[in-house]
Structure 1
Amino acid sequence: MKNSNNLMTPGQVAKMSGVHINVVKKWIADGLLSAFRLPAGHFRIEQDEYRRFLSASGMPTPEALGDSADDSGQCRRILLIDDDQAQVELMKAFLEQQGFSIETALDGYVGLIRIGSFRPDLVFLDINMPRLDGIEVLDALFKQTASDSQIPLPNIIVMSGEQDPEVQQKLSEYPVADLIRKPFSLGGVLDSLKSIYSEVA
């Protein structure tokens, strides 16, 4: 039996998505959004299915839908900041399979904005990026959290193939959770996650 607390009506989905209910019904009819019928003929959508649909469609997750969390209530939001779009898409698909809620940014400037709006508890951060590089993002982020204790500081996993000793020295000044050397495998990503999320197998 499905948990009624996790079910949504097409009207609720429409309101959260900012569209007309007929648009939601078309999503269902076209097979884009999975739903099931009650004995009376009304549709119901599971929240996890709605989250999957939002992610697949590139739509933001409404705050009213709540955070993706594990059984202990631990937040499972991850932000990927990297200008390598192919790598970002690969990691996003992999992490979503692990049950994480994912947002992405293709440069450091947008990344800082997403940190403020998405409030991730973990950030994968590239170093060499346009507009703001990873070092500048770290500097801005730590200065911001130092001046405002109300802003939570996410865990940071740095992704870098940078060999410059000066960059290495700058990185050592920040308490990042881990450093993954590029190029890396998805297995390496999983190993880093285990140091932060105890439930990751």
Structure 2
Amino acid sequence: MSEQSQLLSTRQAATLLGVSVRTIQLWVEQGLLSAWKTPGGHRRIVQESLLSLLHKRQKLHPLTYVLCVNLESAFFELLQALCQQWNFPVELQQARNTVDALLMIGERKPELVLMGFDQPGIDMQLLQIELTQHKVKLAIIASDDPQPGLTMNMMWLRQPFEPLQLKTELQKLLFARLQGLG
């Protein structure tokens, strides 16, 4: 994400959080939101601080639900720790296999399904089509380059795992979700 896209005006932040511009200004002055002023005196809010504040305000109701399918326990725990460290309002759930994932999706639709590319018996193109129709984003973890035809509407996370790449992709997802709620 470029530095420009990580910044919001006070009006944009107010709209996303459903509060007044003055409330955003007060939160900046109180140190609840990180911001800086342009040479013209306009505040620019750091998106990451807005996500952190949102996480604190919505402890019981995460903004985004991510279903992790067939990931190793240690990796899943790492993802949980990273989301907590970043103060992202994300709920992660672990499905042990694709059958569990289908049952869990039937109970509650995630905004993102995160899985390895090498899932036995799964047609990735068909899965992507189905998830896209239901407005669920797919994230694939793979050591190979993205497969042609599979990258549209999909996150492709490289192995070895780079937390910054996931952080950037989750920020995009969270802000898209936040804007969709507004």
TM-score (norm 2): 0.52
Task: Establish whether residue 159 from structure 1 lines up as the match of residue 149 from structure 2.
Answer: no
Structure ranking higher in strand proportion: 2
Unaligned 5+ segments in structure 2 are 1-57, 177-182
**Cα shift at 1:159:** 1.1
Structure 1 residue 119 corresponds to structure 2 residue 109: yes
Give 2:75's match in structure 1, choosing from 59, 68, 87. 87
Distance 1:174 1:168, change over 3 A: closer
Q: 1:127 to 1:178 in 2, by over 3 A?
A: same
In structure 2, relative to structure 1, the CA distance for the partners of 1:143 and 1:185 (3 Å cut) is closer
Q: Which residue of structure 2 aligns with residue 168 of structure 1?
A: 147
Q: How many residues align?
A: 119
Once residues 184 and 109 of structure 1 are traced to their aligned partners in structure 2, the CA distance between those partners, rounded to angstroms, is 25
Per the alignment, do residues 186 and 144 of structure 1 end up closer, same or farther by CA in structure 2, a change over 3 Å counting? Answer: closer
Residue pair 1:77, 1:100 contacting (<8 A) in 2 also: yes
1:83 maps to a residue whose letter is L
TM-score by length of 1: 0.48
Provide the rounded CA distance (Å) in 2 between the counterparts of 1:120 and 1:144.
10
Is the counterpart of residue 182 in structure 1 residue 159 in structure 2? yes
Flag structure 1 segments of 5+ consecutive residues without an equivalent. 1-46, 52-66, 70-75, 147-151
The Cα of 1:103 is off from its aligned counterpart by 1.0
| Counterpart-to-counterpart distance in 1, 2:157 and 2:171 | 13
Would the aligned equivalents of 2:71 and 2:115 in 1 still touch at CA under 8 Å? no
| Structure 2 CA distance for aligned equivalents of residues 144 and 190 of structure 1 | 22
Larger radius of gyration: 1
Identity of paired residues, percent? 17
Query: Counterparts of 1:144 and 1:185 in 2: how far apart (Å)?
Result: 25
- Residues 108, 198 of structure 1: alpha-carbon distance in 2 compared, 3 angstrom cutoff: same
Q: How does 1:32-111 map to 2 (within 5 A)?
A: 48=59, 67-69=61-63, 76-96=64-84, 97-111=87-101
CA RMSD of aligned residues (A): 3.3
Higher relative contact order (CA 8 A, sep 6+): 2
Query: What letter matches 1:68 in structure 2?
Result: P
